[in-house]
Amino acid sequence: MKTLCRYTRRMSAFLRRHYVGSRLMNFAVHAAAAVTVLVLGFLVAYIVVRGVPNLKPSLFALQYTSDNQSMLPAIINTCTMTFISLLLAVPFGVGAAIDLTEYARRGSRLTRLVQMTTQTLSGIPSIVYGLFGMLMFNNALQLGYSMLSGALTLAIMILPLIMRTTQEALSAVPDMYREGSFGLGAGKLRTVFFVVLPSAMPGILSGVILAIGRIVGETAALMYTSGTVAKVAGLMDSGTMLALHMYKQASEGLYLNEAYATSVVLLVLVLLINLLSAKTAKLMMKGRG
Amino acid sequence: MNSSNAFEVRGMNLHYGSFHALKNIHLDIPKNQITALIGPSGCGKSTFLRSLNRMNDLVEGCRIDGDIRMDGEDIYGKIDVNHLRKRVGMVFQKPNPFPMSIYDNVAYGPRTHGVKNKPQLDALVEKSLKDAAIWDEVKDRLKKSALGLSGGQQQRLCIARALAAQPEVILMDEPTSALDPISTSHIEELALTLKDQYTIIIVTHNMQQAARISDRTVFFLLGEVIESGETEQIFSSPRDKRTEDYITGRFG
Ligand SMILES: Nc1ncnc2c1ncn2[C@@H]1O[C@H](COP(=O)(O)OP(=O)(O)O)[C@@H](O)[C@H]1O
Ligand SMILES: [Mg+2]
């Protein structure tokens, strides 16, 4: 008790002495926050101001020609690509994460190896994935420039992300839920699928949404895999995505206005995804908590 | 094996790695009675309780030898662990309802064990909630999340959830230590009404609680059973000096 008192007294003396310092610190933190918001606000405002006046109905025609620069095919392809990539990556990513957190022994050599691999993989620049995808899927597997090649490449790219977020979500589920389930005579499988996984769902979902964000904004990994053809593409056709479409418009220098218009749509799309994810997470929490 | 015993434990030893947590335990747990496990923190009460439904299997490095029989059957032999845990239900120290609806919580056990028929499930849920003395408080909100209940209600829900699996034995590990006095007395009354149908083994830190509700008391100290017998006898004329010191509050 005495030691505690002494400790408290010393602590408050310290705080008094450093009062000015802490005020300064406080200010710095607020300033940093303000700068962040300002930069972001400026960015959005700039894109909106430059882009919105260029949003013409012709930009949403089903057919792209070099005259009307329609982005509708790119929008549709973006949706297709997101869907296929997730379809490929989510089952594997979530499955692997379940295996590692719920089945493999904690801290075993295998888990550590996979941990290290996923960490390394998530640090690799996406152009490397693009080149790998081109060599592997386009050439070796002879898929050519196609949505499938692109989706496979993206799936590999987002796999570590999905695995990591799922693992984190699963580890955050309190052990007392698992014990409660085992205590009622439920087996491992039932416990994982009916108790652990539903509890971890908001976390898993937020990982999937992060992944969607990466897919929608991806260019480098797709340039050499799914290609840049501005047409509504089937699985085996080459088709461009929104971000890549915009990159092409801007880099050619001829369609800068259209590029800004495209970026407005891209921005809105990303915002929508975020909004949707927040809503979904909230809805899921409401069903439980 | 005496058929009036739910459990018979003979020469049981338990190690956590190199730590000898339970030492040469011999104990009979009679059916349809409340057995209280008392003793200072860390003496192995929870460990003993959790070895009766093999929850210690989940702990890495935990090793058990000796003989634990339930109705004459070696529960560490070739048995179905999930079936054992269905027969031996458990209520934990901290209320741990699943993050799902009240109904789904109670239906979890029966569903696990193959009850799919909706009317049958409804009836079982209602009966379990009534037996756990919480039906009146939740009957209008069965589809609401169990996490919205108070701590005391959550614990009674967990008891209902355990009952719904239709166990023979219920293990309770300090079920009232996280609850207020009123919720505590609810649970104590509940335990008394349940003992006609179930064998109850309850770990408690609270001497009065042990004296109030249990038929038999087992006193643990440093991983050993020092004394066990009728609660009356243990509290009025303990045979061992250490038991007397503990129940009169000289240590613990
Ligand atoms: N999972 C575990 N691993 C290692 N030691 C443990 C574990 N659980 C409990 N113990 C040790 O076993 C002893 C008995 O613990 P426990 O059964 O929880 O005691 P009680 O419930 O009587 O307070 C304590 O010394 C505790 O530190
Ligand atoms: Mg304990």
Among A54, A69, A97, give the residue marking a domain's end.
A54
Does B98 reach chain A within 8 Å, measured CB to CB?
yes
Residue B250 has pLDDT above 80, yes or no: no
d(CA B224, CA B39): 10
**Contacting residues of B for A173, CB less than 8 Å apart:** none
Residues A152 and A275 occupy one common structural domain: yes
How far away is chain A from the Cα of B196, in angstroms, using its nearest Cα?
A: 21
Ligand 2: distance of its center to the CA of A104 in Å? Answer: 28
Same domain, A187 and A102: yes
Interface touch B55/A183, C-beta < 8 Å: yes
- B21-B22-B24 Cα angle (round to 5): 145
Residues A76 and A175 in one domain: yes
Tell me whether A107 touches chain B (CB under 8 Å): no
B32 touches A: beta carbon within 8 Å: no
User: What confidence score (pLDDT) does residue A115 get?
Assistant: 83
Q: What is the 3-state secondary structure (H, E, C) of chain B?
A: CCCCEEEEEEEEEEEECCEEEEEEEEEEEECCCEEEEECCCCCCHHHHHHHHCCHHHHCCCEEEEEEEEECCEECCCCCCHHHHHHHEEEECCCCCCCCCEHHHHHHHHHHHCCCCCHHHHHHHHHHHHHHCCCHHHHCCCCCCEHHHCCHHHHHHHHHHHHHHCCCCEEEEECCCCCCCHHHHHHHHHHHHHHCCCCEEEEECCCHHHHHHHCCEEEEEECCEEEEEEEHHHHHHCCCCHHHHHHHCCCCC
Give the end of a domain, one of A15, A34, A54: A54
Q: Which residues of chain A have pLDDT under 50?
A: 289
Number of domains in chain A: 2
Q: Residues A101, A84: one domain?
A: yes
A184 and A253 fall within a common domain? yes
Q: Output the pLDDT for position A289.
A: 44
Q: What is the span of the domain harbouring residue A48?
A: 2-54
With the most atoms of ligand 1 within 8 angstroms of its CB, the residue from B12, B14, B15, B16 to mutate is B16
The pLDDT tens digits of the residues spanning B87-143 come to: 999 999 999 999 999 999 999 999 999 999 999 999 999 999 999 989 999 999 999
Q: Average pLDDT of B146-151?
A: 93
A63 lies in the same domain as A173: yes
**ipTM of the complex model:** 0.93
Q: Does the distance separating the beta carbons of A179 and B92 come in below 8 Å?
A: yes
B27 pLDDT more than 90: yes
Q: Which of A57, A175, A179 is nearest to B85 (CA)?
A: A179
Tell me, what's the pLDDT at A245?
Answer: 87
> B46-96: per-residue pLDDT in tens?
999 999 999 999 898 999 999 999 998 999 999 999 999 999 999 999 999
Tens-digit pLDDT profile for residues A218-228 = 889 999 998 88
Q: What does the alpha-carbon distance between residue A31 and residue A39 come to, in Å, rounded to a whole number? A: 12
CATH of the domain at A164: 1.10.3720.10
Same domain, A173 and A283: yes
- Among A35, A54, A73, give the residue marking a domain's end: A54
Question: Which residues partner with A233 through β-bridges?
Answer: none
Q: Residues B151-169: pLDDT tens digits? A: 999 999 999 999 999 999 9
- Give contacts of B 58-97 with A, CB under 8 A: 58, 60, 82-86, 89-90, 92, 94, 96-97
Report the chain A residue with the minimal C-alpha distance to residue B85: A185
Q: Are residues A176 and A283 in the same domain?
A: yes
Q: Is the CB of B22 under 6 A from ligand 1?
A: no
Q: Are residues A122 and A12 in the same domain?
A: no
Ligand 1: nearest atom to the Cα of B17 = 4
Query: What's chain A's average pLDDT?
Result: 86
- The answer to whether A183 faces chain B, any CB pair under 8 Å, is yes
Ligand 1 center to B50 CA (angstroms): 11
pLDDT at A229: 84
Q: Same domain, yes or no, for A63 and A50?
A: no
Identify which of A185, A187, A195 has the shortest CB distance to residue B98: A195
Is the domain defined by B30-55+80-247 classed in CATH 2.40.50.320? Answer: no
Chain A residues closer than 8 Å to B98 by CB: 177, 180-181, 195, 199
Q: Is the full-model pTM beyond 0.90?
A: no
**Chain A within 8 Å of B26 (Cβ-Cβ)?**
no
Domain range summary for chain B, segments of one domain joined by +: 30-55+80-247
- Any idea which ligand is nearest the CA of B43? 1
Contacts of A179 in chain B (CB under 8 A): 55, 58, 92, 96
Ligand 1 centre distance from Cα of residue B222 (Å): 10
Question: In this complex, is the C-beta atom of B156 within 8 Å of any C-beta atom belonging to chain A?
Answer: no
Q: B55 to chain A: nearest residue by CA? A: A183
pLDDT at B26 over 90: yes
Among the partner-chain residues B85, B98, B99, the one whose CB lies closest to the CB of A185 is B85
pLDDT single digits (tens) B203-241: 998 999 999 999 999 999 999 999 999 999 999 999 999
Nearest CB partner across the interface for A288, out of B58, B96, B147? B147
Instruction: Tell me whether residues A181 and B90 touch, CB distance under 8 A.
Output: no
Say yes or no: CB of residue B12 within 6 Å of ligand 1.
Answer: no
Which of B98, B104, B145 to substitute to test the interface with A, most A CBs within 10 Å?
Answer: B98
Q: A180 vs B92: CB contact, 8 Å cut-off?
A: yes
Q: What is the average per-residue pLDDT within B21-27?
A: 96
